[in-house]
Homo-oligomer: A and B are copies of this chain.
Amino acid sequence: MEEKVIQLQINYKTLEEFEKFREYGQEELYMREELEENIVENQNNSPFYGMYIGDKLVARMSLYKIDKKYDRYFNPPQDYYELCKLEVLPDYQKKGLGKKLIRFAQSLGCPIKVNVRCGANSYFQNLGFEPAKYNPVRDRAENPYIWEP
């Protein structure tokens, strides 16, 4: 498959696609309100990236750029991406789409931090991520993994 990772424009069509994902929550509801209040569509600075098959969004993630002054993971501190909401719709799993999204994030030239969910440790380790040294105050029950270019 030759699907491309694209930055998603936040508009009503994208939000409708988002409803198919399990990790649909307050962030998406907030974006809908923002759309309704501002009547600003197709803003280009969305944190969401995704992959379409035909006209269907089948995988997505968000990447938040964190300024180095807030960096508590890398030494020396640097700008990095926080990767969240990585998700592939059930019928499209096991095809490497999640890996393509992560490889895309890795191509952006910054370190990445991700909070890894139960059971996905080896998935991220195979992509070069390593567990961050656990810090009980900083990580408070998180399971942080980091990757550096």
Q: Which residues of A contact B (CB under 8 A)?
A: 22-27, 29-30, 47, 62, 64, 82, 84-85, 116, 118-119, 121, 131-132, 134, 136, 139-144
A85 engages B25 (CB within 8 Å)? no
A118 engages B22 (CB within 8 Å)? yes
Of B84, B116, B140, B143, the residue contacting A140 (CB under 8 A) is B84
A134 engages B64 (CB within 8 Å)? no
Besides the known contacts A25-B121, A27-B139, A27-B142, 6 further A-B residue pairs in the complex with CB atoms under 8 A apart: A22-B119, A26-B134, A26-B142, A26-B143, A30-B134, A30-B136
Q: How far is B70's CA from A36's CA once the two chains are assembled, in angstroms?
A: 32
A141 engages B64 (CB within 8 Å)? yes
Q: How far is B116's CA from A79's CA once the two chains are assembled, in angstroms?
A: 28
B140 engages A64 (CB within 8 Å)? yes
